[in-house]
Homo-oligomer: A and B are copies of this chain.
Amino acid sequence: MTMETVSTNTAFGGTQGVYRHDSHATGTPMTFSVYVPPHDPGERLPVLWYLSGLTCTHANVTDKGEYRAPCAEHKVIFVAPDTSPRGQGVADDEAYDMGQGAGFYVDATQEPWTPHFRMRSYIEDELPALIAAEFPVADLARQAITGHSMGGHGALTLALRNPDRFRAVSAFAPIVAPSQVPWGQKALGGYLGSDRGSWRQHDAVALIEDGARLPEILVDQGDADQFLDEQLQPERLRAACAAAGIDLTLRMQPGYDHSYYFISTFMADHVAWAAARLHAKDPA
């Protein structure tokens, strides 16, 4: 694995970088950003992943997420991947919610998506190994993950499938039950086909119904979010967590919409939530 540095900028005492590498999983160049906060020589820090929503690249949260101040304060590395493979020769769809910018964090089994749309393998396996190799990362068994909308879906499902990797899981306005809402039905149907059984590994509520467990989850959701009723439906997650004994903190935030104005407002809370759990000592 080789990694190219696209740019680095000093910020909040640390380094905000943008990097590119040739992904085996997607068969394309992939770009991502990493913020490494100020730290002592040789010090290794825990990682918080942020998975982005529909239409986004790594750049949206990097520009507008306001995570560098809390990551510097709490000594947490912040990794922001892209949301799909991109470029000529990569399948796409004219709609904003399918194809490039809309990978939904699955490995596609349906044409024309199978050659490159392998975002599950990319985010779950390939990119963590690259991050561990290239950055001063403490311990990949002690990570945190969050995300927004489609990326909230990605964060919840990845953590539910791999609970031993994550000490903290949160989301901003996540798609909690993609099998039951239009965005998810279109994407999972398109990438995975009509067998709904194959969707359940990519649906947070279905994973919980099928026995996946996390000790606790933090979700912020704006009550003025234009996608709340049709696409997000956090009450489905509330019901599933209640039935499963998962300690869900679901905060309905009055007046907030689906934008980065919402995300940036609560980003410091999510970084602090992650940091408290990442830096906690293991029980003796």
Q: Which residue of B lies closest to A257 (CB)?
A: B9
A69 interface contact, C-beta 8 A: yes
A66 interface contact, C-beta 8 A: yes
A66 vs B264: C-alpha distance in the bound complex, in angstroms?
Answer: 9
Q: Is the CB of B264 within 8 A of A68?
A: yes
Across-interface contacts of A68 in B (CB, < 8 A): 261, 264-265
A259 vs B66: C-alpha distance in the bound complex, in angstroms?
Answer: 15
With A16-B261, A261-B16: A10-B66 Cβ-Cβ less than 8 Å: no
Q: Is the CB of B10 within 8 A of A262?
A: yes
Interface set, chain A 245-284, CB cutoff 8 A to B: 255-257, 259-262, 264-265, 268
A283 nearest CB across to chain B (Å) = 35
A19 interface contact, C-beta 8 A: no
- Interface size range of chain A in the complex: 20 to 34
With A16-B261, A264-B68: A10-B63 Cβ-Cβ less than 8 Å: no
Interface of chain A: mostly helix, strand, loop or mixed: mixed
A269 nearest CB across to chain B (Å) = 12
Given B11, B64, B257, B268, which contacts A10 in the complex, CB threshold below 8 Å? Answer: B257
A113 interface contact, C-beta 8 A: no
Q: Is the CB of A261 within 8 A of B69?
A: no
Residue with the greatest number of chain B CB neighbours at <10 A, chosen from A256, A264, A268? A264
A222 vs B12: C-alpha distance in the bound complex, in angstroms?
Answer: 12
Query: B-facing mask of A16-28, CB < 8 A → 1, else 0?
Result: 1000000000000
A258 nearest CB across to chain B (Å) = 10
A262 vs B9: C-alpha distance in the bound complex, in angstroms?
Answer: 8
With A11-B261, A259-B9: A66-B63 Cβ-Cβ less than 8 Å: no
Sample 28 A-B pairs with CB under 8 A, ordered by A number.
A9-B257, A9-B259, A9-B261, A9-B262, A10-B222, A10-B224, A10-B255, A10-B256, A10-B257, A10-B261, A10-B262, A10-B265, A11-B262, A11-B264, A11-B265, A12-B264, A12-B265, A13-B265, A16-B261, A63-B64, A63-B260, A64-B64, A66-B66, A66-B69, A66-B264, A68-B264, A69-B69, A69-B268
Q: Which residues in A have some Cβ–Cβ distance to B below 8 Å?
A: 9-13, 16, 63-64, 66, 68-69, 222, 224, 255-257, 259-262, 264-265, 268
